[in-house]
Amino acid sequence: MILRDLMRILGSSARRDGRNLTSDEAYGAFRAILSGEATEIQAGAFLIALRWKGVTVEEVTGFARAARDNARIPCAKTQDLVCVCPSQEGVEHVPPLELAASLIAASAGVKVLVISDRCVPPKRGLTAASALEGMGMQMTFDPSEAEAWVDELGFAVVAASGMLPALLSLRKVRTEIGVRTPLSTVEKLLAPRNASIVVGAQGGPVLGLAVGVVQSLGHPRGIVVQGLEAGVIPSVRRRTRGIEFSTTQQVTLSIEPGDFGIHHAEEPDLPMFGPPEDGLGCGDNPLLVQASGRVTAGVLSGEMGAARDAALLGAAVILRAAGGSLTIADGVGRANEALDSGATRRLLERLRAKS
């Protein structure tokens, strides 16, 4: 079934006579988009139709299955791995602390694979890749290299577009549409099925949908968290909502920074250097990229403040999702110990030698 037939199934806004796609129909649609069978106009119209209608667990699961089947995903046989999957569109108002949090968690004893990218539209914000670049390092675009780094170091940052190059050809469509589409969710889910997973989710009712999708994809356990700017880093000034899941159950998660002795009036600061140019985002601004690197380096060198505390909370979430801690509080303690002992800085230096 070709894409325009599936758009007829979705119906029109005037008649409201459509229906949701089955998982298999969604799989076929996304496969057509990724393979180039659909034109840019058809792909854009389909994505906008889905945004108007709203997506279901079955549809997003079908999209993610198609993406995974067309991608080279590393670490398919790696045991005790946790994948960290923040928004690939990045952040604009806070530093991208998922890199610091993931390095802390890895130095505390779990294997971590971070899925990242840079300058992804429409937001084109700062990501883990930006923080690495700001410290003079690079993520890998080669899934085989990422797997080798995880085997040797217990840590790697891999580009989503390196695993699935077809994502690059869709960036023009995403820029022209100018709003979030299911692509923003699917690219976060290019993770090996055997891994535990930490996924950042938008605020509001999408939390349950995101958990339903990752459970349907077969991950053994994980946490979906509504962190800062839809990322995986909890707030340091207010409660952060999430859901912890296994193959058989879901448990509501509430992260109150005050419960861990963390009290800040503001979130971690990202220095600003004027408004972005039209069509560009924070991730395009070399000064902001350098600033994100400085904030990350400061956290890893022991600087106190909101950025450090936010990274510790993020690391605790990763450790809990991986089964490396009994509770979030235990994870904060383990993360703090790894950072203060110098284990995180030693891991960073080993990574620097690789990248």
Residue 13, pLDDT score:
47
DSSP for 159-215 reads: EHHHH-THHHHTHHHHHHH-S--THHHHGGG---TTSEEEEE--SSTHHHHHHHHHH
Helix-, strand-, coil-residue percentages of the chain, each rounded to 5: 50, 10, 40
150 touches 75 (CB < 8 A): yes
Spatial distance between the Cα atoms of 1 and 11, rounded to a whole number of angstroms: 16
At 253, which helix (H) or strand (E)? strand 250-255
- Res. 17 pLDDT band, cuts 50 70 90: low
Residue 15, pLDDT score:
46
Per residue in 131-169, pLDDT tens? 999 999 999 999 999 999 999 999 999 999 999 999 998
Instruction: Write the class of the CATH domain 81-354.
Output: alpha beta
Residue 1, pLDDT score:
53
Give percent of the chain above pLDDT 90.
72
Residue 14, pLDDT score:
41
Residue 178 structure tokens = 């100018």
Residue 11, pLDDT score:
66
Per residue in 248-261, pLDDT tens? 889 999 999 999 99
Mean pLDDT, range 291-318, rounded to an integer: 97
- Residue type for position 117: D
Per residue in 123-132, pLDDT tens? 899 999 999 9
Residue 47 structure tokens = 């994505």
Lowest mean pLDDT among 16-20, 58-62, 205-209: 16-20
CATH node for 3-69: 1.20.970.10
For tokens 């703090």, the residue is 336
Per residue in 105-120, pLDDT tens? 999 999 999 999 998 9
Residue 24, pLDDT score:
93
Spatial distance between the Cα atoms of 280 and 25, rounded to a whole number of angstroms: 35
Spans of all domains in the chain: 3-69, 81-354
pTM (2 d.p.): 0.93
